[in-house]
Amino acid sequence: MSEQTEVENSQERLKTFKRALERRAYSEARSIINGLHPAEIALLLESLPPDEREPAWDLVDPDHGGDVLLHVNEDLRAGFIRDMAHTELVAATEGLETDDLADIIQDLPGQVIQDLLKSMDHQDRIRLEAVLSYPEDTAGGLMNTDTITVRPDATLDVVLRYLRSRGEVPDMTDSLIVVDRDDTFLGILLITDLLIKSPLATVADVMTREVEAISALTPAHEVATIFEHRDLISAPVVDIAGKLVGRITIDDVVDVIRDEADHSLLSMAGLSEEEDMFAPVVVSARRRGIWLGLNLVTVLIASWVIGLFEATIEKVVALAVLMPIVASMGGIAGSQTLTIVIRGMALGQIGNTNAPWLMGKELAVGALNGVLWALVIALITMFWFDDFQIGVIIASAIVINLVVGALAGVTIPFAMRKFGADPALGGSVLLTAVTDAVGFFCFLGLATVFLL
């Protein structure tokens, strides 16, 4: 199913569900919402205005409650948790997988956490504590501790009988993890090998030893890259001593990739991927206000630069008409470079080793495009204002600003990362400040020197 078709289906479900709510046909609405996957229920709830969410949430089958809470954004989850009864929260969350429970347990009230831990058996509590001991955005925070391990000296026949006695295996199990008596990771036993090799062969005979386990402290975005490059379905996770602590499956990695994409897109505008689209006006205004304030500072800097050349603008009115062209061209060129660099950094393709080469390349691209479009704009300006000097001045300013925009597009992400800031967060605001200020200064400065 294509992405466009899925979007259309989601909108159709939303429309049908809202009509049922408006008609107070709650039985029909309950049937619609509970016929969906928990992730689809979460999307439907997020797409409803605030006053319709509580009635819709009340229709959700309690058996789905925990999974739905897992998929909705943080703001909406906090609201539902705040309004749910103590017993409802315990019932909704106690059936979650260990890694999923770890994702939301910090949002639960203290008493609910205590009761939830009491309701868990000793082994599940240990598993949960193992996941919670690692930061959320690391392999340890992503992993599930429900793993199947085997010893290298066991025969395949013994392993098959062990699996049959279990009765079930964890989801996304494409291999069993081979460990020694101290739980040190040794390799993996592929399910395909287990099924087709001789039952008399030992695990050590057929296991795959070349597989590298992922360190529990590996950042989540690096885990996603490893899965992408190696085409993995699951991967073992080890601690610093090489002992097995869990495994990561592809469904967890897909969530990371989606979150990274949302983060990159929204952070460029200073927004959070967890922001509720239908949040109250005051809440949204407060969150966005800080970035508008920062943008105002950058605009005031650009205005101050223009003010330095007030006398020049008064004498040559054409400059006021042409100023936005210089700033806009530099801003677009810089944004192109900024986007490429941030994407490369996120994918692990750009580092200190190849950054100088990339900077040289982007400066050359900026200079080449600068010369090309400077000539075009110079000809238009000469024809428009019948002034050769203004044409030369704006052409020179555009070349300078496109080169500066490319330079800023490379250096701003590296500078932000060096100071511990997210390169995607507000990078475009800083870039705009640079290209506006430099563009206005170059254009008006050159005009002051050559026209007055």
Q: Are residues 299 and 436 in the same domain?
A: yes
Supply the Cα-derived Rg of the chain in whole angstroms. Answer: 29
Asked if pLDDT for residue 343 goes beyond 90, the answer is no
CA 48 to CA 50: how far, in whole Å? 6
> What number of other Cβ atoms are within 10 A of residue 184's Cβ?
13
* 15 found inside a domain: yes
Q: Is the pTM of this model over 0.75?
A: no
| Beta pairing partners, 369 | none
* 184 found inside a domain: yes
CATH number of the domain at 136, please. 1.25.60.10
Domain boundary pick from 98, 123, 142: 142
**Tell me: the pLDDT tens digits for 119-143?**
777 767 777 778 888 888 899 988 8
* 266 found inside a domain: no
Q: Which domain holds residue 229?
A: 149-249
Mean pLDDT on 415-426: 76
Domain boundary pick from 142, 175, 191: 142
Mean pLDDT on 218-244: 90
- Which conformational region is residue 183 in: left (phi greater than 0), alpha (psi within -120 to 50 degrees), or beta? left
User: Which residue in this structure is represented by tokens 């008399």?
Assistant: 200
Asked if pLDDT for residue 144 goes beyond 80, the answer is yes
CA 133 to CA 136: how far, in whole Å? 9
pLDDT in the model for residue 7? 65
Q: Are residues 96 and 124 in the same domain?
A: yes
Q: Are residues 294 and 351 in the same domain?
A: yes
Nearest one of 75, 101, 85, 2 to 283, comparing CA atoms: 75
**Tell me: the pLDDT tens digits for 348-405?**
677 777 888 888 999 999 899 989 999 999 999 898 888 889 999 999 999 999 999 9
Q: Are residues 164 and 243 in the same domain?
A: yes
* 273 found inside a domain: no
* 268 found inside a domain: no
Mean pLDDT on 172-191: 92
Q: Are residues 73 and 118 in the same domain?
A: yes
pLDDT band at 185 (very low <50, low <70, confident <90, very high): very high
Q: Are residues 7 and 123 in the same domain?
A: yes
CA 130 to CA 67: how far, in whole Å? 21
CATH number of the domain at 164, please. 3.10.580.10
* 76 found inside a domain: yes
Q: Are residues 86 and 158 in the same domain?
A: no
Domain boundary pick from 127, 142, 157: 142
Q: Are residues 446 and 390 in the same domain?
A: yes
Q: Are residues 221 and 292 in the same domain?
A: no
Query: What domain count does the chain have?
Result: 3
Q: Are residues 292 and 312 in the same domain?
A: yes
- Rounded to 10°, the helix 3-22/50-58 angle is 80
CA 321 to CA 380: how far, in whole Å? 13
